[in-house]
Amino acid sequence: MTDTAPQPIPFLDLKAQQARIAADLRGRLDRVLGHCQFILGPEVTELEQELARFCGARHCIGVSSGTDAIQIALMGAGIGAGDAVFLPAFTYTATAEVPLVLGATPVFVDVDPRTFQIDPAHLEARIEAVKAAGRLRPRALIGVDLFGQPADWPALRAIAARHGLFTLDDLAQSFGATLHGKPLGTQAEATATSFFPSKPLGAYGDGGAMFTDSDELAALYRSLRTHGEGTTRYEVLRTGMNGRLDSLQAAVLLAKLTVFPEELAARERIAQVYDSRLGNAVQTPVRVPDSTSAWAIYAILLRDGAAREHVQSVLKSRGVPTAIYYPRPLHKQPAYAGSHDGAGLPVAEDLATRILALPIHPDLTDVQVGRICDAVLEAVG
């Protein structure tokens, strides 16, 4: 037997996915090239209808990115200077960036050490602390469904209602997940998702969508995504932005939507193999009760930073790529440290030192999943 290095396993395999949908995708792209309505064309309308049906929301509004979806939602709620926007410290930067862009202040909340989702008890404490300090008005909560799993929305809604906060669900990582048997998309007053290419449902460029059951908010978001336009293009009602989705991206997403349910099932199957083979050796993801995950990220916890470094290097030598989401909690980022009030966020800080993401995508073969498990067990053994 020759001792050749094994073929590297891709962290994400968009080429293999493309091969599965090639014919349908080409047909849809050709139709856009035929009609040349490149911005908010018929594919965008069709996608909005399909996505609204998928998650049982009254309205879906296609927008230019997940970040812009968050921005439009916060603009629609009138968030600005002097407002506190509560959000988890352990998330992607975009969640915290938007409040600052609008002149508001992000207030970082710690996360649950088992599920990594925003911690409702700490949220309550943070709201009380902001009220006591009297400098900022508590105005909004951005709950993030991290890594594919849902946040504890029943608890978050109750707290938000008690304190009069606008609720926004940042669903960028978890479109396709369910909570209590229902797809995410209707847990908050507004929901924002992303179609960045590496998300569970990804476009071939930037894209995003918003969901709401409110007719008023839906109309407002449609206006805000097109420069605050009124009933005609030449009537400007409010300050908006260029936040539109383009037809080619919608065509790509419609093609991908045809295989999305089977992709979710494939990711779940892989997660179950990881759980059963690795569960005794490392801390595998703890499931949120009565939910399903979209498995954007499958993250394990190692003993400490040194153990993580070791596992990463052993896996690399075996052709297994890994990634760290997130190496720094947001309140420790130079861009945000200045707006942080100094509260301790020990769970987010601890997770950042020892969390590690394994590949999880629908085109991983059983052999590859087996190789990844073997490599992890070898590294921690």
Ligand X SMILES: *Cc1c(COP(=O)(O)O)cnc(C)c1O
Name the DSSP class of 323. Answer: B
The rounded distance, in Å, linking the Cα atoms of 76 and 166 is 10
Nearest-approach distance from CB 153 to ligand X, in angstroms = 15
User: Site residues for ligand X, window 72-91 (CB under 6 A)?
Assistant: 91
- Is position 105 an interface residue for ligand X (rule: CB under 6 A)? no
Q: Of 70 and 278, which has the nearer Cβ to ligand X?
A: 70
- Is position 249 an interface residue for ligand X (rule: CB under 6 A)? no
Q: Which amino acid is at 367?
A: V
- Is position 291 an interface residue for ligand X (rule: CB under 6 A)? no
CA 102 to chain centre: 21
Which residue(s) pair with 323 in the sheet?
357
Q: Of 203 and 375, which has the nearer Cβ to ligand X?
A: 203
* Selected binder of ligand X within 41, 54, 65, 345 (CB under 6 A): 65
Nearest-approach distance from CB 142 to ligand X, in angstroms = 9
Among the candidate windows 45-53, 167-175, 232-240, 242-250, which touches ligand X by CB under 6 A?
167-175
* Selected binder of ligand X within 54, 90, 92, 108 (CB under 6 A): 92
Q: Alpha helix (H) ranges present in the chain?
A: 14-35, 42-55, 66-76, 94-101, 120-133, 153-163, 215-225, 247-257, 260-278, 305-317, 334-337, 346-354, 366-380
* Selected binder of ligand X within 41, 150, 200, 208 (CB under 6 A): 208
* Selected binder of ligand X within 17, 67, 293, 312 (CB under 6 A): 67
- The residue assigned the tokens 């669900």 is 169
3-state DSSP of 32-50 = HHHHCCCECCHHHHHHHHH
Please work out the total of residues on this chain that contact ligand X, with binding judged by CB under 6 A: 15
Among the candidate windows 20-28, 60-68, 77-85, 364-372, which touches ligand X by CB under 6 A?
60-68
Nearest-approach distance from CB 140 to ligand X, in angstroms = 15
348 to 377: interface string for ligand X, x by CB under 6 A: ------------------------------
- Is position 174 an interface residue for ligand X (rule: CB under 6 A)? no
- Is position 172 an interface residue for ligand X (rule: CB under 6 A)? yes
The neighbour count for residue 317, using CB atoms within 10 Å, is 12
- Is position 196 an interface residue for ligand X (rule: CB under 6 A)? yes
Instruction: For residue 326, say if its preceding peptide bond is cis, omega within 30 degrees of 0.
Output: yes
**If you compute the radius of gyration of the chain from its CA atoms, what whole number of angstroms results?**
21
Please report, for residues 16, 17, 277, 296, the alpha-carbon distance to residue 362 in angstroms, rounded to integers and kept in the order given.
9, 8, 18, 11
- Is position 170 an interface residue for ligand X (rule: CB under 6 A)? yes
- How is 248-276 classified by DSSP, letter by letter? HHHHHHHHHHTTHHHHHHHHHHHHHHHHH
- The residue assigned the tokens 């649950």 is 112
Q: Of 72 and 165, which has the nearer Cβ to ligand X?
A: 72
Q: Of 90 and 369, which has the nearer Cβ to ligand X?
A: 90
Q: How many CA atoms lie within 13 A of 91 on its CB side?
A: 35
Nearest-approach distance from CB 184 to ligand X, in angstroms = 13
* Selected binder of ligand X within 117, 186, 191, 194 (CB under 6 A): 194
- The residue assigned the tokens 């993801």 is 285
- The residue assigned the tokens 């504890």 is 152
CA 209 to chain centre: 12
- Is position 95 an interface residue for ligand X (rule: CB under 6 A)? yes
Q: Of 54 and 195, which has the nearer Cβ to ligand X?
A: 195
Q: Which amino acid is at 316?
A: K
Q: Of 72 and 282, which has the nearer Cβ to ligand X?
A: 72
Nearest-approach distance from CB 307 to ligand X, in angstroms = 26
Q: Of 85 and 369, which has the nearer Cβ to ligand X?
A: 85
- Is position 167 an interface residue for ligand X (rule: CB under 6 A)? no
The rounded distance, in Å, linking the Cα atoms of 44 and 39 is 8
Strands (DSSP E) contained in 263-328 are 291-292, 298-301
- Is position 173 an interface residue for ligand X (rule: CB under 6 A)? yes
Residue with the CB atom nearest ligand X in the bound state: 66
Binding site for ligand X (CB under 6 A): 65-67, 91-92, 94-95, 144, 170, 172-173, 194, 196, 206, 208
